[in-house]
Amino acid sequence: MMIWKILGDCLPTSGKMYFLNNPDRHCLLCNSETEDAFHLIAKCNVTRGLWFKSKWGLRLDSMGWNNVMDFGKWWTNLSDHELLIFSACLYDTIWFWRNNIFHNHCSWDTHLIYNDCLKCFVEFSSSDVVIEANEEDRHLLEKKDWTTAMPKNTTTFTVDASVAEGWVGIAAINSMGTLLWITA
């Protein structure tokens, strides 16, 4: 969603909201330039740091992006599915934190933003994606395995339900695919 807002130039950045008479339109993350969409996606030192820290080690200054559309062309032509998801998570997280700082004046650091970015990436990645990470970040990438965390003699099962014409149907299937319970 964030990516489409960037590409559609409808991100309500400080630089864009000049009519609010806000005297300070500097980027809330790096405080070095006027905050606009292109600054946030490509020029901000925080964004650059996060990209470089990622497993792709991207150096944004060597991407040859001169405007939002250059970024858009790069993003829409990505064939690396993981990179596609990671970039969406990265920009989503940056925007979340930018708003958090703007509205709540909360304290932050790049490590905190990067951790949130990784959590988002894990959430949106398919379970068979193999993620490479350094030792420090590895624990953030571990998906919780509820089956091993469960006490012994406990059964895990999947539940599905549907509602139609005032009736509710519920079914429970265990991990072996056996139907344990059905009711309507």
Which residues of this chain interact with Zn ion, rule CB under 5 A? Answer: 27, 29-30, 44
Tell me the one-letter amino acid at 27: C
* 46 or 85: CB nearest Zn ion: 46
Closest to 35 (Cα-Cα) out of 62, 4, 59, 11: 11
100: exposed, middle or buried (Cβ count in 10 Å: 0-12, 13-18, 19+): middle
Q: Crossing angle of helices 45-53/110-124, nearest 10°?
A: 50
Tokens representing residue 15 in the block: 């630089």
- Taking the complex as a whole, the smallest distance from the CB of residue 34 to Zn ion amounts, in Å, to 9
- Taking the complex as a whole, the smallest distance from the CB of residue 95 to Zn ion amounts, in Å, to 12
- Taking the complex as a whole, the smallest distance from the CB of residue 15 to Zn ion amounts, in Å, to 11
Q: How far apart are CA 55 and CA 65, in angstroms?
A: 20
Q: Which residues contact 10 (CB under 8 A, 6 or more apart)?
A: none
> 103-112: buried (b, 16+ CB within 10 Å) or exposed (e) per residue?
eeeeeeebee
- Taking the complex as a whole, the smallest distance from the CB of residue 150 to Zn ion amounts, in Å, to 45
- Taking the complex as a whole, the smallest distance from the CB of residue 57 to Zn ion amounts, in Å, to 20
* 39 or 125: CB nearest Zn ion: 39
* 50 or 89: CB nearest Zn ion: 50
* 27 or 118: CB nearest Zn ion: 27
* 71 or 125: CB nearest Zn ion: 71
